[in-house]
Amino acid sequence: MYSGGMDTADRLIESTRELLWERGYVGTSPKAILERAGAGQGSMYHHFRGKSDLALAAIRRTAAEMRAAAEAVLAPPGSPYERVAAYLRRERDVLRGCPVGRLTMDPDVVADAALRAPVDETLDWLRGRLAALVEEGKEQGQFAAGLDAGDVAATILATVQGGYVLARASGSPAAFDAGVRGLLALLAPAAPDSAHG
């Protein structure tokens, strides 16, 4: 149940977000949404055209939260390496997985262009944001000049998403943490050569 300060539409969206993460699209029935939201039977259709419309609102909200969480660690001052490290090390519920990334494993979401769009847009935004940071690091001499920023950004994203899979498979966040440590070791700026310093 949700606080009395949340309106019915918000309760429906929040319930749908949770259920999509827990059960996937098919397992998220209108009845389960209404029960979790503590809403009456006509509420969903008063605020939304149906389950798909409500799921789209839920996915968009989840995607917006993921962007905000990423931007909170990518935007502050610090070297590009420090900001990439902050993104990789930020607080996550590793064993639950990524609420956006997990949607790519849901065949019903992937098959529906409208439901898939906010997922694609969010992952593309994140890849672009990380690539810009890598480019900045190359310009500052922090990352090797020959690195392809887009490829490195894809690797960062793949490390996070793959880390979730490995952690869930093993039942331990250790696999996620190992992937993060490995990638950061590969990206770490080389210590300046003392002969040239």
How confident is the model at residue 4, as a pLDDT?
Answer: 54
Number of domains in the chain: 1
pLDDT of residue 196: 42
**What pLDDT shows up at residue 41?**
81
Residue 194 lies in a domain: no
Q: What is the C-alpha separation between 144 and 158, in angstroms, rounded? A: 20
125 is a domain residue: yes
Sign of CA dihedral 85, 90, 95, 98: negative
Structural domain includes residue 196: no
| Interior/surface letters 167-180, b for 16+ CB within 10 angstroms, e for the rest | bbeeeebebbeebb
Q: Give, for 45, the enclosing helix (H) or strand (E).
A: helix 43-47
For residue 133, tell me if it sits in a domain: yes
Structural domain including 153 reads 8-187
Position 10 scores a pLDDT of 95
> Is pLDDT above 60 for 88?
yes
Burial 3-30 (b: 16+ CB within 10 A, else e): eeeeebbbbbbbbbbbbbbeebbeebeb
At CB < 8 A and 24+ separation, what contacts does 123-132 make?
Answer: 123/157, 125/67, 126/66, 126/67, 126/70, 126/153, 126/157, 127/153, 127/154, 127/157, 128/153, 129/70, 129/71, 129/74, 129/153, 130/74, 130/84, 130/87, 130/156, 130/157
Residue 195 lies in a domain: no
Token duo for residue 144: 């090797």
User: Does the residue 18 lie in any domain?
Assistant: yes
Instruction: Place 197 in a pLDDT band, splitting at 50, 70 and 90.
Output: very low
Q: Confidence class of residue 192 from pLDDT cuts 50, 70 and 90?
A: low
Segment 13-42 shows an average pLDDT of 93
Considering the domain boundaries, does residue 2 fall inside one? no
Question: What pLDDT, in 10s, does the model give residues 134-172?
Answer: 999 999 999 999 999 999 999 999 999 999 999 999 999
Q: Is the pLDDT of residue 190 over 70?
A: no
Residue 195: per-residue pLDDT: 39
Looking at residue 30, its pLDDT comes to 93
For residue 47, give the CATH number of its domain. 1.10.357.10
- Mean pLDDT, range 68-94, rounded to an integer: 95
Q: Is this model's pTM higher than 0.85 or not?
A: yes
Task: For residue 1, tell me if it sits in a domain.
Answer: no
The two tokens of residue 79 are: 């070297």
